[in-house]
Amino acid sequence: MPSSKPPLAGLRVLELARILAGPWAGQMLADLGADVIKVERRGSGDDTRGWGPPFVEGADGEKLSAAYYHSCNRGKRSITADFENADDMDRVRALAAEADIVIENFKTGGLKRYGLDYESLKALNPKLIYCSITGFGQTGPYAQRAGYDYLIQAMGGMMSITGIDEPVRTGVAIADLFTGVYSAGAILAALHRQHETGEGAWIDMALLDVQTSVLANQAMNYLVSGKPPGLMGNAHPNVVPYQPFETSDGRVIVAVGNDGQFARFAAILGRPELADDPDYKTNAARIHNRERLIPLLAERTKRMTREDLLAALEREGVPGGPINDIAQALADPQVRARGMQVTLDAPHVADGALAQVRSPIVMDGTPMVAEKAPPALGADDADWRWR
């Protein structure tokens, strides 16, 4: 029988992080059962508490923290501290001395003056896993610079391949989010090693490193061809057809991943002969002749309604789908069936509950999501010790 105990139950995580990358890593660990204590600046708290509107409405009708804050701080406890206050720093060091993990995203070297840098805390806690998240890493000519996701997307190449008429950033902070996910993975790898050897670790995570890493096939396209890829809008550099098509009443995404799917798509459009044409028979040929092929396909999709094309794609096993807004995405039958939207008890919030988008992790049939809503600022100041 699967265990009802969360996989990281008993793990102690001290989060000295704000904005998104560090808190996202902390939330992942909280969803998996870790006890995460978030240390926030006294008075204002995490910067994202003010990144609104919209703001979550409190139980008494007051404005609580911004929705942004509530997206990445589920399952944590919140204590406040003034980093210039010696008593507060003693309390934070006491927590670090008994923690398994520290996550911080201060400027490189910024915590040394408070005795909260890796070397200082390692002396108190030799097994400590300490994850530092910065814009540019602990080394290199940019190490002292502050880094924000928008800047990193621009510097790291992502914006050069995203957009139609001009480079654009992605609709969510992709460098921050990927850094949070990679940080959580690195932390768990270090934890495994700690169990084997008793050694702690200092993890150096940089947003620019992560953004460069997740260029994936686009970076390899450049390394192999010597030609930097550019803007392609919604088309794919390595697969054709793999883009939106106009119907008579809206757009449909078609994602043809192999030659068999292309043959079925051509048949749906009443042009089965295209699948036997040497100019279009293989994916490599379709890429070479993209400019001639796409108008032939688009001319046929425009004769069909959106509903009819989607139904035909589903029937013939050709990947395709609608372009949903976020409301439509959360209302999609598959998203609902998977339980991606959850409601958490939150006595400090209006109606006593708060909707959340859960972690995508499902283990032994159980979705991994913390039961506690994101905390009010300083909610745990009176109960700040590890449990």
Q: What HEC string does 14-42 produce?
A: EEECCCCHHHHHHHHHHHCCCEEEEEEEC
Count of helix runs (H) and strand runs (E) in the chain: 14, 15
Angle CA(274)–CA(218)–CA(159) in degrees, nearest 5? 110
Query: Side chain identity at 182, as an amino acid letter?
Result: Y
- Non-local CB neighbours of 302 within 8 Å, separated by 6+ positions: 246, 247, 248
- For residues 356 and 342, the answer to whether their CB atoms sit within 8 Å is yes
The C-alpha atoms of residue 203 and residue 214 are separated, in whole angstroms, by: 19
The tens digit of pLDDT for each residue in 359-370 reads 999 999 999 999
**Sign of the C-alpha dihedral computed for residues 285, 287, 289 and 293 taken in this order:** positive
Of 155, 99, 101, the C-alpha closest to 132 is: 101
Beta pairing class for 201-206 and 129-134: parallel
370, burial (CB in 10 Å: exposed 0-12, middle 13-18, buried 19+): buried
Instruction: Give alpha helix (H) positions in 59-147.
Output: 67-70, 86-98, 118-124
Write out pLDDT tens, residues 128-170. 999 999 999 999 999 999 999 999 999 999 999 999 999 999 9
Phi, psi of 25 (to 5 degrees): -65, -45
**Cβ(64)–Cβ(74) below 8 Å:** no
Bond preceding residue 360 cis, omega within 30 of 0: no
- State the pLDDT at residue 3: 60
Cβ-in-10-Å burial (0-12, 13-18, 19+) of 379 comes to: middle
Q: What's the DSSP call for residue 347? A: T
Residues in the chain with pLDDT < 50? 1
| DSSP type of residue 338 | T
Report pLDDT for 33: 98
Task: Let me know: does 73 contact 27? Beta carbons within 8 Å.
Answer: yes
Calculate Rg over the CA atoms of the chain: 25
End-to-end CA distance of the chain: 27
What pLDDT shows up at residue 4?
A: 78
3-class state of residue 53 by DSSP? coil
Q: So which residues are the catalytic ones?
A: 176
> Which tens digits make up the pLDDT trace of 88-109?
999 999 999 999 999 999 999 9
Q: Report phi then psi at 86, rounded to 5.
A: -60, -40
Q: What is the pLDDT of residue 386?
A: 95
